[in-house]
Amino acid sequence: MSIKDSGPDVVIVGGGFAGVTAARELTERGRSAVLLEARDRLGGRTYTADHDGHAMELGGTWVHPLQPHVWAEIDRYGVETETFPVLEGLRQAVVSGGRVVDLSDDDIAQAIDALAQYCAPGTTLFPEPYSETWGPDPDGLGDRSMRQHLETLNVTPLLRDWVEAMCSLLAFGPIDQAAATEYFRIYALSGWSAEQMLAALSATKLVKGTRELIGAIAAQARLADIRLNSPVRRITQNDDHVRVELTDGDTITAPTAVITLPMNVLNTVEFDPPLSQTKRTASAERHAGAGMKCYVRVKGDIGNVAVLAPEAQSVNWVVTYDHDANGSWLIVFAANPKRLPMKSFDDIAGMQEALQPLLPGVEVESIVGWDWSNDPHALGTWCIYRPGQLAQVLPELRTTEGRLFFASGDSSESWRSFIDGAIESGYHSARHVDEYLTAAGHQTLSPARLNSPIKA
């Protein structure tokens, strides 16, 4: 019997790391799936694009051995990693007091100490960062924004500007809209070490890009029929099955579904019966991640340089990606794109203006990027909860509703907001679906069938 004859065991909505991992895990458990992806590619908020001889990551990039799920996958498929090359002999600076201040090794050590001070509540709030629970929180830190928590930090103006820039970078949105607990959590996940946290956030990447890893996982999802260009518009469920309707009118029916839509996108699909009020409210208010990452080609060899800038600047981090005598590629992060004088990725003059406070005199030649916040299938960047959302929405976003199981990097247990969290959520959802189907008497495919691909 094929999927065509019997229908799949599960429909997976979304082909990012969460959905593709769920598809592979279901295959490993002898379950068949149809995976529906709206885009013409897998990867979702990871996107490796070829440009000027580089495999540029327009979305998720950095991975680290501290992230157990993604690292296990890297190991499993023998995917090559590299330390971000520019860390060698890197000139580090911060915009402070209206000028660019170069940082000595001592300054950097002090800055990392200041960040550790900022994150210190992570020790008591997240004593077991890989578990679902957190707290107790007698001081109400869960409702505190990164900005409010910054006001409690007693350090020099230079260090404060550095930590503020780091807040902007992680929030990737206005820091008064991002929860301070997001920093505490990642600090805890990094072994309660600010130094390890910085390494986890931006030191190691995949040589051929994230597309190699997701491709390897997808290739092993042999019992999944992966359909690109298949946007879902409506999902209904009753006592017997789930019915998924695509925008072209096609429908697929299965006993279960795994929904991997980003939190900000959940409300763009119609659910009948409607999703829980908490899920709908979370999707309507969105998470705070709304920044802009892009690659900028500039004239001349600017060497290995990284400049941070506090929130008042329209660019909050610029770091060399590659450089030679012909010119340099930079990666640019802007936490508040509304502040950018640049209006589109063609706006060379706007980007040049935005970069001047960080790299005076720099001359921009071209820009490559992806506008995640206006991408209808993402509506935001990585997931950074607003104050209060950790307690109010996280448990519910993961909660099964009838035959619908939920997986996403936006609601995973530990490295939420990361590729690692998306993979973790894919593992969990596949296990839960398999247990559900077993309890409902749905048999798995025989081991012989597992070895024969059933994709069309």
Phi/psi at 224 (5° precision): -110, 135
Q: How far is the CB of 20 from ligand FAD (least distance, A)?
A: 8
Task: Kindly state the tokens that stand for 233.
Answer: 């518009």
> Among residues 179 and 422, whose Cβ is nearest to ligand FAD?
422
> Among residues 115 and 423, whose Cβ is nearest to ligand FAD?
423
Q: How far is the CB of 422 from ligand FAD (least distance, A)?
A: 3
Q: Which stretch binds ligand FAD (CB under 6 A): 79-87, 162-170, 344-352, 375-383?
A: 375-383
Partners of 244 in the β-ladder: 235, 252
Task: Kindly state the tokens that stand for 209.
Answer: 């890009």
Q: Is position 122 an interface residue for ligand FAD (rule: CB under 6 A)?
A: no
Q: How far apart are CA 383 and CA 376, in angstroms?
A: 15
Residue from 262, 337, 350, 387 touching ligand FAD (CB under 6 A): that is: 262
CA angle 230, 55, 25 (to 5 degrees): 45
333 is in an annotated binding site: yes
Task: Kindly state the tokens that stand for 15.
Answer: 């082909």
37 is in an annotated binding site: yes
Q: How far apart are CA 169 and CA 333, in angstroms?
A: 7
Task: Kindly state the tokens that stand for 74.
Answer: 């890297």
In the block, which residue shows the tokens 């949105």? Answer: 173
315 is in an annotated binding site: no
How many CB atoms are located within 10 Å of the residue 80 CB? 9
Q: Is position 222 an interface residue for ligand FAD (rule: CB under 6 A)?
A: no
13 is in an annotated binding site: no
Q: How far apart are CA 217 and CA 74, in angstroms?
A: 10
Over the window 5 to 34, marking each residue x when it contacts ligand FAD by CB under 6 A and - when it does not, the resulting string is --------xxxxxxx---------------
Q: How far apart are CA 172 and CA 159, in angstroms?
A: 20
Residues 283-312 that bind ligand FAD (CB under 6 A): 293
Residue from 33, 34, 35, 36 touching ligand FAD (CB under 6 A): that is: 36
Closest CA to 275 of 235, 233, 245: 235
Q: How far is the CB of 36 from ligand FAD (least distance, A)?
A: 5
Over the window 37 to 76, marking each residue x when it contacts ligand FAD by CB under 6 A and - when it does not, the resulting string is xxx----xxx------------xxxx--------------
Closest CA to 418 of 73, 123, 49, 4: 73
> Among residues 126 and 372, whose Cβ is nearest to ligand FAD?
372
Query: Contact positions toward ligand FAD, by CB under 6 A?
Result: 13-19, 36-39, 44-46, 59-62, 231-232, 260-262, 265, 269, 293, 372, 377-378, 381-382, 408-409, 417-420, 422
